[in-house]
Amino acid sequence: MSLAHHVHTVFTNLVHYRLRSVLTLLGIAVGIGAVTGIIVIGEGLHDMVMDEFESVRGGSMVWVSPSRYENREGSWMPVSDYEHLVWQDMLEIGRRSSAVRQLVPAATLNVDLRFAKTSHGGMLYGTTPSFPEMYQWSVSTGRFITDRDVKRWRKVCVLGDELAARLFDDTNPVGKEVKLNGQRFAVIGVMKPKIVFNESWGNRVFVPITTVQKRMLGHEGFDLLTIKVVDSSVMEIAVDDIEAALKTIHGDAPGFDIVSGKNAMDQIGGVINAVKSAIAAVAGISLMVGGIGIMNMMLVSVTERRREIGIRKSVGARHVDIVNQFTLEAIGISALGGLLGILLGLGLGSVFSFVLNQVLDLTFTTGTSVSNILLSLAISLAIGLCAGIYPALKASQLSPVDAMNME
């Protein structure tokens, strides 16, 4: 018997028992839809997180900061006398490590900004002219800090876009003066809008690092060092060099936190994949239910169609023909359910993407790919094959005489 004849017989029987077939098909569709939706949403979340990291070159960055908390008898307590980073740390790291390409220090503190009768809180960063290049964040109006500003401790500042809008509305702030914690600073520029992980960086204000150290903090330390390595492949070497350099300057227990962007990306990606796998496993239960539904339907079909089986075997149908017929019926139902489930899953991903973007103002897109679609379809076909083999074998073992005598 030809494959075309088998396929024709399969679809004829599916149409004849259409209500039962549709209900079984829906069971598979729901399971495949859930798995497909979870896969595309998980891939989209993974891609979005990685893209956000790359927007600040996270994969090739290392952040060093003083350890402000320590574990004391199982409780995390603040460290009141933690050591600051110093200029010698930068020199030693640059001298020791060929894996390091760029270093940018920052001295940070909360600041109150005032202009006329308007005030607003923000985060002050005392830094160097390399900050915009390091974080891929440029100025929209005016200019950023220069080396001359740093050398002369100039009281100049660059405002984030949100601070500029709150203090000056639509007026160009460049050339005007603001008060930072009561000290007058000339505004020399405004940064472009930047959002990372749905958090705006527009509430930051930048001044020369020496100005913060000499005029506001009273010491030459700083609390953040951003380091760009040559390539993510040498990240471990760079971290080892950084640790060795800090020990050289501060002793064997320097008390600094070193965070590798690559490790952070790997950890976040691992968490997303673990959550995705766990939810997919739960959704897989519905696939098992769908597979049991197919098997149950085929067993009932074998019972109801014993006379048909007996007639076919009496006119020359072989065991393999009966097995092929019932197996193909199970696979046909599963395949149709799989295709419907894939459409449902893609629709679920699109709805999730739309809602997430509307509620959280993100640019999230689902990770739809041909491989994901083929994987879902393969799962549905495998379920149909597994669920159809036993009923097909049972049908093929019926005696033609006994089958024809059964009503």
Model pLDDT for residues 158-196, shown as the tens digit of each residue: 999 999 999 998 899 999 999 999 999 999 999 999 887
315-362 pLDDT per residue, tens: 776 777 777 777 777 787 788 888 888 888 888 888 888 887 777 666
How far is residue 379's CA from residue 377's CA, in Å, rounded to a whole number?
5
**66 within 8 A of 85, measured Cβ to Cβ:** yes
Q: What is the pLDDT of residues 241-251, one digit of tens each?
A: 999 999 999 98
Q: If DSSP codes are grouped into helix, strand and coil, which group holds residue 302?
A: helix
Q: Distances in Å between the alpha carbon of 216 and those of 71, 88, 127, 155, 211?
A: 31, 21, 13, 11, 7
Residue matched to tokens 């472009």: 192
Under 8 Å between Cβ of 214 and 189: no
| Cβ neighbours for 374, distance < 8 A, ≥ 6 positions apart | none
Report residue 231: phi and psi, to 5°. -160, 150
Exposure on the CB side of residue 170, measured as CA atoms within 13 A: 0
Is beta strand 156-159 parallel, antiparallel or unpaired with respect to 183-191?
A: parallel
| Selection from 11-20, 108-117, 298-307 with the highest mean pLDDT | 108-117
State how far the Cα of 208 lies from the Cα of 154, in Å rounded to an integer. Answer: 7
pLDDT of residue 53: 66
Q: How far apart are CA 311 and CA 258, in angstroms?
A: 78
From the list 225, 355, 298, the residue with the least C-alpha distance to 309 is: 298
Tens of pLDDT, residues 39-73: 788 777 777 777 766 655 566 889 999 987 776 66
Question: What does the domain layout of the chain look like in residue ranges?
Answer: 3-54+266-405, 60-261
C-alpha to C-alpha distance for 29 and 23, rounded to whole angstroms: 10
CA distance 144 to 171: 19
- pLDDT tens per residue, range 21-46: 777 778 778 878 877 887 788 777 77
Decide: pTM greater than 0.75.
no
Cα 151 to Cα 51, 92, 145, 210, 214: the distances in Å are 36, 21, 11, 7, 11
- What is the number of residues in the chain? 407
Query: Which of 92, 77, 36, 10 has its CA nearest to residue 284?
Result: 36
The whole-number pLDDT of residue 13 equals 66
Residues 6 or more apart in contact with residue 117 via CB below 8 angstroms: none
Question: Which stretches does DSSP call E strand in 209-347?
Answer: 224-229, 256-260
